[in-house]
Structures are given as C-alpha cells and as structure tokens.
Amino acid sequence: MQILFGNLAIFVLALLVGVEVISKIPSTLHTPMMSGANAIHGVVIAGAVVTASLANSPTGYILTFIAGAFAAANVFGGYAVTDRILKMFMRPKAVEPADETKTSKDAS
Amino acid sequence: MTDFEFVVGLIYLLSASLFVVGLHMMRAPATARNGNRISAVGMIIAVAATVALSLVTSGGEWIAWAVLAVGVLLGGIFGVYRARTVKMTDVPQLVSVFNAVGGSAAAAIAFAAFILATSSNPLDLTVSIPIVLDVLIGSITFSGSLIAAGKLQGVIPGNPVTFPGSRALNAVVALIALGASVAAIILPENTLLLVVVLVTALILGVLMVLAIGGADAPVVVSLLNALTGLAVAMAGFAIDNQALIIAGALVGAAGTILTLQMAKAMNRSVLSIILGGFGTG
C-alpha cells in the first residue's frame, strides 16, 4: 500500500508538471513538440527491459520481443525524427555558424 | 529498499528532471533542438539504470535477454532508418506510427506482467487495474494511430468514414470493451478476458479514428500520443517502475495541453473532433 501511495503521488505530481511545463507555444512548434513528447514516452523501452528480466516462458519471450522491438522503434525513431524536424527549423537562422543565433535573429 | 535501488531511484529522478527541462526548452524555436537532446540524455541514463537494476535484482534468462537484444536492434534500425529517410511532409504520419508501436509495447508489457502474476499468486487490485487500463488504452492507441497515419498518408479515405448504424456499433463495441475490462479487474486470473479487452479495444481504435475527418488527423495523433503516455504510466504501475510512471504522466498531461492548443489553432473543439462526422473532412 505504501508503494502504491508513493507511485500515485509521483503520478499526480508528474501530471501537474506536464500541464505546467507546456504553456503557450507557437503553432509552428506544435509538430516538433508532439514528436518530442512521443519520443519521451519511448521510455517504455525501460519497461521492455524489466519484462525481459522476468520472462520465463515462450509467451514471455514473444511479449519481450514485441515490447523490445516496438519500444525501440518508438524511442530511437522518435528522437531521430524530432532532431531532424528541429534541424530544419534552425536552418533559416543558422546560415552563419549555429551558435550565433542571436546575431542571425537580428539579421532576419 | 537496498542502497543499490536507492541509487537507481536517484538516477530516475535525474532523468525525470532532464525530461521536464527538455520539454520546457522545446517551447521556443531557439532552444528546442537542445531541449530534445537534453531529453535524450535523460532517456539514455534512465534505460541504463533500468538495465543495471534488472540484472542485479532479477537476473533473468539469457534467452529473454537475447530476444530483447534482437528486438531492440531490429526496432531501432527501423526507427532510425525511417526517421532519416522520411520526406519532411510525411513526418506526422511517421510520428503516428511511432506512437502506435509505443502504445502496443506498453500493452505487451502489461500482458507479460499479467501472465507472470497469474502463474504465481492471485492478482491484487493495485496490479490488475493498471494492467487492464494499460491493455485497453495501449490497444486503442495502437490501432487508432495506424488508422490516423493511413489517413494522413492518403491510404485510407480522408473524409469521415461512417455507415448506417456505425454509432450503434461503436457503442456496442465500447460496452463490450468496458464490460470485459471490469470483469478482468474483478476476476483477475483469466487470460481470455484480457484478450477480449485487447481485441475490442483494437476494433474501437479503428472505428473511432475512421469516423474522424482527415483535416483533424494531426489533432487526433496528438490526442493518441497523450493516451500512449497514460498507457506507459499504467505499465509503470503494473511493474512498479517510477521512470515509466513519471515520463508517462508527463507526456499524458503535456500531450493533452498540446492537443487543446492544436485544436484551438484550427478553430476546432476537441470534443467535436472525437465525436467525429461533423468534421470538415
């Protein structure tokens, strides 16, 4: 019961943080934000690891494989595609070296 | 709690903080890319800590680890390859596919936890409720996200697909899914009931998203994304893993806010989108 209460507490607090962390965002960032959040729930791969450590039957192995393969596609693909979208976002500003964002912002 | 588990807990806290900071930085174009990288660092340390924890506390069989390694390798290659090669205009579809596989991974984890638990001792409500919710939500997001991706790709007709009696069918399927869920929670040792939940939830996901117009599909992908976050959090409850609970809840809430904002930007209400059929198509 104590474990459940601890878990419930962090669940509710994490929900509230999730609401607060995204206040108003420009609509151009909607897609990358969605993609970035999608990558974060790729943490389900950690659950696949736990499943693998407990699996002890053929069904368990199959479920481990499904969880591992699908979660890996989610997490690796999610971060890679988010980075690719955001790289494209930077391009208009990053005609000069990437760390000069402030001066290039003035120029645009 | 051993000293080792305490250290793993601290690492989870650090990775959760990195997720929050990363998401926060993604609100502005100038910091967004670094925000995504910070979140990726959080992911790497969370997964590394979980591998160490699993090896120390339960060890496991080498076959299972080998199966996991092959699966992760295949899934990872597919994900990175698609992410690198997809046309930029097709990105929303790909995100939807990644969301679909994330949801089904969460459902698979719940299923595995269910089988393990039933083979040892009777299920506690504190375990059976998250397991059933995980299978229910994870399956809906899996099939729903695939249909949404199909609509965005143009493989499935963009206009709302409805037919005479489709609402009645939706209601019947939803009732069966809910009934089976309640039964699976109260009568916990029945794999067949969980399979019924799985199948009806899959059908429900297809029916719900088919009825939604293609123009609303991006909002629906965002909503399903938030739901996958919740499914992952439920998986965290089922296997008692705080990294999954925190990250899942974070995505569930942030994704919901994002969905509301996206709908607002399009002058649509989320409710009318979900109910479908009124849409612009």
Answer whether residue B126 is part of any domain: yes
- B43 and A42 within 8 Å at the Cβ level: the answer is yes
Q: Which of residues 10-29 of B touch A (CB under 8 A)?
A: 16, 19-20, 22-24, 26-29
Number of domains chain A contains:
1
Answer whether residue B65 is part of any domain: no
Answer whether residue B72 is part of any domain: no
Q: How confident is the model at residue B119 (pLDDT cuts 50, 70, 90)?
A: low
Q: Are B55 and B92 contained in the same domain? A: no
Q: Are B136 and B180 contained in the same domain? A: yes
Number of domains chain B contains:
2
Answer whether residue A7 is part of any domain: no
Please list every residue in chain A whose beta carbon sits closer than 8 Å to the beta carbon of residue B247: 14, 40-41, 43
For the packed helices B217-239 and A2-21, what is the interaxial angle rounded to 10 degrees? Answer: 160
Tokens 């509230």 belong to residue: A16
Please list every residue in chain A whose beta carbon sits closer than 8 Å to the beta carbon of residue B91: 31, 35, 81, 84-85
Answer whether residue A102 is part of any domain: yes
Whether B82 has its CB under 8 Å from any CB of chain A: the answer is yes
% of chain B surpassing 70 pLDDT: 96
Q: Are B205 and B147 in contact (CB under 8 A)?
A: yes
**What pLDDT is stored for residue B159 in this prediction?**
83
Q: How confident is the model at residue B281 (pLDDT cuts 50, 70, 90)?
A: very low
% of chain B surpassing 90 pLDDT: 70
Answer whether residue A3 is part of any domain: no
**Residue pLDDT, tens place only, B211-262:** 888 888 899 999 999 999 999 999 999 999 999 999 999 999 999 999 999 9
**Residue pLDDT, tens place only, B166-178:** 888 888 999 999 9
Answer whether residue B77 is part of any domain: no
- A interface test, pick of B55, B109, B118 with most A CB neighbours within 10 Å: B109
Check residue B279 and give left, alpha or beta (phi > 0: left; psi -120 to 50: alpha): beta
Tell me the ipTM for this assembly.
0.91
Answer whether residue A67 is part of any domain: yes
Contacts of B216 (CB under 8 A, 6+ apart): B266, B268, B273, B279, B280
Answer whether residue A15 is part of any domain: no
Answer whether residue A50 is part of any domain: yes
The last residue of one of the domains, among B15, B40, B59, is: B59
The first and second tokens of residue B225, run together, are 């994304």
Distance from CA of B207 to the nearest CA of A (A): 23
Torsion sign, CA atoms B166, B167, B173, B176: negative
Q: How confident is the model at residue A94 (pLDDT cuts 50, 70, 90)?
A: very low
Distance from CA of B169 to the nearest CA of A (A): 30
Greater confidence (B277 vs B99) lies with B99
Mean pLDDT along residues A12-37: 90
Distance from CA of B51 to the nearest CA of A (A): 6
Q: Are A44 and A74 in contact (CB under 8 A)?
A: yes
Query: DSSP assignment, residue B60?
Result: -
Distance from CA of B163 to the nearest CA of A (A): 31
Q: Are B54 and B182 contained in the same domain? A: no
Whether B71 has its CB under 8 Å from any CB of chain A: the answer is yes
Q: Are B144 and B262 contained in the same domain? A: yes
Closest listed residue to residue B197, CA positions, set B142, B117, B241, B246:
B142
Answer whether residue A62 is part of any domain: yes
Contacts of B179 (CB under 8 A, 6+ apart): none
Q: Which domain holds residue B129?
A: 87-275
Q: Are B104 and B196 contained in the same domain? A: yes
Q: How confident is the model at residue B190 (pLDDT cuts 50, 70, 90)?
A: confident
- The burial of B162, by beta-carbon neighbours within 10 Å (0-12 exposed, 13-18 middle, 19 or more buried), is given as middle
Answer whether residue A57 is part of any domain: yes
Q: Which of residues 60-99 of A touch B (CB under 8 A)?
A: 60-61, 63-90, 93
Answer whether residue B231 is part of any domain: yes
Answer whether residue B64 is part of any domain: no
Q: Which domain holds residue A37?
A: 25-107
- A7 and B24 within 8 Å at the Cβ level: the answer is no
Closest residue, chain A, to B18 (C-alpha): A40
3-state secondary structure of A25: coil
Q: Are A76 and B79 in contact (CB under 8 A)?
A: yes
Answer whether residue B82 is part of any domain: no
